[in-house]
Amino acid sequence: MTFAPFLDLPDTVAPDYRGGSLFNLMASLCERFGDHRASPWRLRDHPQLGLASARIVVLLVIDGLGAHDLATRGAGRFLARHQARTLTTVFPATTASAVTTTLTGITPAEHGLTGWYIRDDRFGGVLAPLPMVRRDRQPMTGWWRIPRLFPYPSLFQRLDVRSVMVAPEAILGSPFNMRHSRGVARRYGYQDLAGLEAQLVQAVADLGSLEGFVYAYHADYDALAHQFGIASDQCDAHFLALDAMVARLSAQLADSGVQLLVTADHGFIDSPPERQCDIATEGGLQGYLDGPLWGERRVAYCRVRRADRAQFEVEALAQLGDRFHVVPSARLIDAGVFGPAGKPSRRLRERIGDFALIGRENWTIHDWLPQERQYPMLGVHAGVSAAEMLIPLVSITC
């Protein structure tokens, strides 16, 4: 399968919002369960997924399980044997952007979460919206912040059937999760893979004879890949456990009228220490910035003082151009890489700054605030390589 390049850049993949992306999968699910406003954005060849005949759809999102990873590590195993197609994720290829799309059915252009860190000067600058902390480690307290940061309905509020959520106990009751699970009938928490399997079986059983939608999320594969690298023995072992769990789950759900879908929010690459740049060591580039970087290590946004923007672009291209694409952020909006937006977020331009530094090959870039804990990250994502952008869609009729 051939995918379009990102901004016509070589060796890249653009999100396929015209029927082949994670966003389009969610549109197909919205249409199946009553929200026909999503119909124009449904997946190409969507009838092949069997959604129309399924009484219950279970969607399991495995954080970090890219299509390239499944094709290599999982070759011949249960998940790979049941892969229906390869999709692109959204841009950027990261949890904050993609999982928010799965929880809302809208694109990053609309929800405005353009990376793990976003910039929103209403709340003090750069912050991480999922854990609700600022980069300077100041806590973000106050219930009034939540609807201002996330001013859109959840996916579950759009559906006409009973919906439930299965998620790790550690995040089930977080402000982000509670806001984005409005409309679910029940939330099921779990601690490990055995708990995930048991709670998925229980969630389906509790729906009884009703039509319904079960949304489930698993985070451990992503955490292991960040810490040890996607090519690690730890990821090998966890993948095998995941594959076996899904095989058991499908057997337990046999003859239940369930369509079990398994997908991911992004894939991974490894970035060794010698490919990790600190912008403070890159000539005088940091001196042009109006505040710290945000976004991701593979797609870092920066705001530059107005008088210095032309000079910054020249120097950034000279200093970083062999390792990073230096892209004026307005070009990203014009190219539609954040998705088609019926009603784009009013904060979108603020959230992507003046320039985006997008890593070539396996390069990453970062900075550190004085009070931040400096931490290595071997496995990374959010970039526009095929390994990061392509995700599997597994479909099993139970």
Sorted by where each begins, the domain ranges of the chain are 6-42+51-111+137-270+384-397, 273-378
209 band by pLDDT with thresholds 50, 70 and 90: very high
CA distance 168 to 156: 18
The CATH code for residues 273-378 is 3.30.1360.180
Q: Specify the DSSP class assigned to residue 199.
A: H
**163: β partners:** 213
Is 28 or 137 the better-scoring residue by pLDDT?
A: 28
Tokens at 267, concatenated: 């894939």
Section 280-309 average pLDDT: 97
pLDDT at 342 over 90: no
Structural contact between residues 108 and 90, judged by C-beta atoms closer than 8 angstroms? yes
Q: Which helix (H) or strand (E) holds 193?
A: helix 193-207
pLDDT at 142 over 80: no
CA distance 294 to 276: 16
What are the Cα distances from residue 318, in Å, to 315, 322, 325, 353, 354?
5, 8, 11, 20, 18
Is the peptide bond prior to 92 cis by the omega test (within 30 degrees of 0)? Answer: yes
CA distance 285 to 326: 12
In which region does residue 183 sit, left (phi positive, over 0), alpha (psi from -120 to 50) or beta (all else)?
Answer: left
pLDDT at 1 over 80: no
CA distance 344 to 112: 8
Section 114-135 average pLDDT: 94
CA distance 192 to 177: 18
pLDDT at 199 over 90: yes
Give exposure, 274-293, as e/b (b: 16+ Cβ within 10 Å). ebbbebeebeebeebbebbb
Chain mean pLDDT for the chain:
96
320 band by pLDDT with thresholds 50, 70 and 90: very high
CA distance 351 to 348: 5
223 band by pLDDT with thresholds 50, 70 and 90: very high
pLDDT at 364 over 80: yes
Q: Which residue has the tokens 């390069």?
A: 363
- Give the pLDDT score at 70: 98
In which region does residue 16 sit, left (phi positive, over 0), alpha (psi from -120 to 50) or beta (all else)?
Answer: beta
Section 287-300 average pLDDT: 97
pLDDT at 195 over 70: yes
DSSP assignments along 36-55, one per residue: GGGGGGPPTTGGGG-TTT-S
Count CB neighbours of 53 within 10 A: 10
Q: Which residues contact 20 (CB under 8 A, 6 or more apart)?
A: 3, 43, 44, 85, 87, 88
Section 215-234 average pLDDT: 98
Section 251-260 average pLDDT: 96
Domains 6-42+51-111+137-270+384-397 and 273-378 share a fold: no
341 band by pLDDT with thresholds 50, 70 and 90: low
Residue 88's nearest CA partner among 397, 388, 321 is: 388
Query: Residue 327 is which amino acid?
Result: V
Tokens at 216, concatenated: 């489930």
Q: 3-class DSSP state for residue 359?
A: strand
Count CB neighbours of 109 within 10 A: 24
Tell me the CATH architecture of domain 6-42+51-111+137-270+384-397: 3-Layer(aba) Sandwich (3.40)
pLDDT at 212 over 70: yes
